[in-house]
Copies of this chain bind each other. A is one copy, B any other.
Amino acid sequence: MSFDVAAVRALFPLLAQANGDAPLHYLDNGATSQIPQTVLDAVLSYETTSRANVLRGVHRLAEAATAAYAEARARMARFLNVDADEVIFTSGTTAAINLVAYAYGDLLKAGDEVVISLLEHHSNIVPWQLLRDRRGIVLKVLPVTDDGRLDLSTLDKIVTKRCRLIAVAHASNVTGAVSDVAAIVAAARAVGAKVLLDGAQRAPHGPIDVRALAVDFYALSGHKMFAPNGVGALWGRRALLDEMPPFLGGGEMIRTVTIERTIYADVPHKFEAGTPPIGQAIGLGTAAEWALGLDWPAISAHEMRLAQRLLDGLGRRIDTRILGPSGLQRRIPVVSFAVNGAHPHDVCQLLDTRGVALRGGHHCAQPLMDRFDLPGTVRASLALYNDDSDIDALLEGLDDAVRRLG
């Protein structure tokens, strides 16, 4: 194996501190990933050597902060293979999707259609419901197959001429399924609709060629891709961003303000009202740059080997049902399952006593849970620093938990 997982673990202080007495098998990366020292160092360097506000100051701290912030945007753009001035820093995926729902939503009329899916995270459902209530758009929903993928068999029926946007997860935070973006883009193009991808779960698994995906918007969160909380990014096509009205009003997003009339700044500043999360964006840029330097084919092989080990272990249990694809094709290493007679929270609580950090519940995807008539699932979400011992601890702990709860 060309990928040295122990060396990677050593870069993450929280993982490095876990020891024999208090082992940690962190398998809740889908909720929040851990953060490497190099990202913390970048944030600390800002805080202790160039902390200042950006864009308007001429003193040396402000110049340094402004340059670092611009560099962070450039790095994020390289991570997504897009132009830097199409990258908007937000406070996270949720804020990014809401920005589109408000600002692109403002271009829609009653009767226009937005298509989401049944496997979306609430962050990609509720903003569209609010838009529906605000503007009378029609919200349509792609179904989900029995193995937890987008069901595209009726795509052509659901995506009509009235469709203005298809907004779906690039990868599901519950089933781990990666969406067939090409088919979705083709359907959208056929009717002149735009496509937004919620990339929150895809971003921790390596750089994304957004240009090749040929979508119109891409949203992600820093805290899931080894960067600080409180920052995320929205990429949008320049022409669309230019056309959209601003969303939040405030400093930094204006050209001139009089009480009567305000002229807005150019993209991306038009959508970055107020002091941005400077230190956090610098951290996100550093995380993006760090990720760009890694050997992703090797990491993917590693992640997929672990996912297979987990799927195999779960597959041997007759009381356990996997919610999602059973194989490794078009998936990220996120695995959800339900155990007969053992509630997800009880399973997670008992696993925690062995240092295995999982998530139990609806994973902010209640419509998907309803689709499968489940109150929730147990989810193991892997990152590059997980290893065999994490999977084995989960499987052993599960045996024990089921015995105790049974």
Interface residues of A (CB under 8 A from B): 13-14, 17, 24, 26, 28, 31-32, 34-35, 40, 44, 47-49, 51-53, 56-62, 91-95, 97-98, 101, 118, 121-123, 125-130, 139, 141, 221, 223, 228-231, 246, 248-254, 256-259, 261-262, 273-280, 345, 348-349, 351-352, 356-361, 364, 366-367, 370
Contact = CB atoms under 8 A, between A and B. Distances in A.
A256 B366 contact: yes
Nearest to A131: B249
A175 B17 CA distance: 50
Given A56-B364, A57-B348, 14 more contacts: A28-B52, A28-B59, A31-B53, A40-B44, A56-B361, A60-B357, A62-B357, A94-B249, A95-B248, A95-B273, A122-B257, A123-B274, A126-B253, A127-B248
A349 B277 contact: no
Contacts of A60: 352, 357
A97 B250 contact: yes
A19 B78 CA distance: 37
Contact of A275 (B94, B248, B274): B94
Given A127-B248, A274-B92, A230 B279 contact: yes
**Copies of chain A in the complex:** 2
B248 A98 contact: yes
Contacts of A130: 246, 249
Contacts of A139: 259
A34 B46 CA distance: 11
Contacts of A223: 53, 275, 278
Contacts of A123: 249-251, 273-274
A357 B53 CA distance: 12
B345 A58 contact: yes
A17 to B, nearest CB: 7
A274 B230 contact: no
B28 A358 contact: no
B125 A257 contact: yes
A219 to B, nearest CB: 11
A24 B61 CA distance: 10
A393 to B, nearest CB: 13
A260 to B, nearest CB: 9
Contact of A141 (B229, B259, B367): B259
A249 B101 contact: yes
A254 B278 CA distance: 29
User: Which 7 residue pairs are nearest across A and B when measured between Cβ atoms?
Assistant: A94-B274, A126-B249, A230-B277, A94-B250, A123-B250, A230-B230, A59-B357
A275 B32 contact: yes
A14 B48 CA distance: 5
A172 to B, nearest CB: 14
A277 B90 CA distance: 11
